[in-house]
A and B are shown apart, each in its own frame.
Chain A
Amino acid sequence: MKLIRTLTGKSLKETAAKGGCGECQTACKTSTVGNQKCENEEQ
């Protein structure tokens, strides 16, 4: 029986090492980063 199911992949710390490549995209022009896609193939 599993009482906790983790929905996420890598932890934020794990994304730091190869993060910040800047290749991902900067819909609305007014109101979030959380729903963007990572485009770093090394991540």
Chain B
Amino acid sequence: MADYLIHKFQYKDRYFLLDAESGAVHLVEPIVYDMLDGFIGGAKEDTINALSDKYDLETLELAWEELSTVQENGLFLQEYVPFNFEYNPDNIIKAMCLHVAHDCNLRCTYCFASQGDFQGTRCLMELDTGKKALEFLAKNSGNRYNLEVDFFGGEPMMNWDVVKELVAYGRELETIYNKNFRFTITTNGLLLNEDNIAFINEHMSNVVLSLDGRREVNDRMRSTVSGKGSYDLIVPKFQMLVGLRGDKDYYIRGTFTSNNLDFSEDVKLYKELGFNKTSMEPVVTDPREPYALHPHHMDEIMRQYDKLTDMMEEELKNKSGFLFFHFMLDLNQGPCVVKRSVGCGAGSEYIAVTPEGDIYPCHQFVGEEEYKLGNLDSGIANNMIRDKFKEANIMTKSSCSSCWAKYYCSGGCHANAYYNNGNILIPYEPGCEMEKKRLECSIYLSSIEKE
């Protein structure tokens, strides 16, 4: 069996060749695209003869020569060479999802956090617990300089005073430990006002603002405790926050379900509302739920990504600065191969801390007792679970090792794998399918952008 891994695809009038093991992506002329199979598996003379009805001999010779050159340069048919590295041997922790509230003022139908309480008692994090969490992060961060803390819930703004005090405490710890805390917050926006928007825009390096798109789409899934829609309450607040935010990062982030398979319309609405940094994610839920995504929805989802590609192509031509998170791809200088191999770092470099101070691999495992890693007092006590996550990567996930997209998705989300297949090593297949489609769209858009 060949140890190289290539993927060739056509998108609109462009032809692409991706060499997985080198990471190279090539934009090729149709003559090269047509020659690939012969170049890989056949003799030069036979291949050129077979194509001579369609192309002239001189250009066929040139195509063969260019393919030979990129192969000699290690950017085509590069063979898999296992590279040995020990991932996070010192068990450094650099990122924390801080659950300052296990309570919420919305009752979103699809919420993986059981409408905010994570299947437990509704509660808020005490300030002392939060301080202990930041100290735990600083003390366990080894030589890492950049540390990340995402204020999460539930709805983190239901515990706003604690959030503010923790930011101030983090700044104190920066001096003591020589660290840089990057604070971020994920909010539904209901409690935003001029004062807390000013604080967020000053102190949060990124803000994730939850909105599903069109009013009827959003309000069907994201209602208040009294059952009313949230769209009219939150959109003006998000517009105020974004209007005052300047160049700092934010994302308007939605979830699409089988109720809005035309989700490209929701992304268009983001733009109409003045939001330029956008993300729209497929719902991942129990397949028995009426809004769940199923295999028969895939064709329409793929069409929607094509529509979004058309939209983004226009935005690129107009240099509007509009961004769709899943189409952002830095082909010049993406992450290193280590990062691409291990993924998000959940359960190892990245942890979630509950209001009670319990530690889980990430926010999506909170409440799953068998996945509890420990708590802030005892530290990480469940080494078996930590090691399980440390060892989950594209080399150990068998379906990933032969996939051309492995260095882009990095094995996918462990939680999606666990909740769908009962095993963090078996990726969530519909997620893989969507990821591969988005990658093809992204590569096409990158080729447009480079012109």
Contacts and interface: CB of A to CB of B under 8 A. Distances in A.
Interface of A: 1-13, 15-16, 18-40, 43
A31 B408 contact: no
Nearest to B325: A27
Of A1, A12, A39, which is in contact with the most chain B CB atoms at under 10 Å from its CB?
A: A12
Interface string B37-76: 0000000000000000000000100110011001000110
Given A9-B332, A28-B279, A34 B340 contact: yes
B296 interface: no
Interface of B: 17, 21-29, 31-32, 59, 62-63, 66-67, 70, 74-75, 78, 81, 83, 85, 87-88, 92, 94-95, 112, 144-146, 148, 152, 182, 186, 206, 208, 251, 253, 255, 279, 281-282, 284, 325-340, 343-345, 349-350, 363-364, 407-410, 413, 416, 431, 434-435, 439, 442-443, 446-447, 450
A7 B26 contact: yes
A35 B328 contact: yes
B410 A34 contact: yes
The prevalent SS among residues of B at the interface is mixed
Contact of A37 (B253, B282, B330, B343): B330
Nearest to A26: B95
A29 B92 CA distance: 21
A22 B27 contact: no
A13 B74 contact: yes
B32 A3 contact: yes
7 closest A-B pairs by CB: A19-B336, A34-B408, A20-B338, A12-B23, A15-B336, A26-B95, A33-B410
A39 B146 contact: yes
Of B29, B66, B326, B334, which is in contact with the most chain A CB atoms at under 10 Å from its CB?
A: B334
A10 B330 CA distance: 11
A27 B66 contact: no
Contacts of A2: 66
A4 B442 CA distance: 19
Contacts of B407: 12, 34
Contact of B284 (A24, A30, A35): A30
Contacts of B333: 9-10, 37-38, 43
9 contacts: A3-B31, A6-B25, A11-B22, A12-B22, A15-B336, A15-B338, A31-B431, A32-B409, A40-B336
Contacts of B434: 31
A20 to B, nearest CB: 4
A36 to B, nearest CB: 5
A33 to B, nearest CB: 4
A33 B146 contact: no
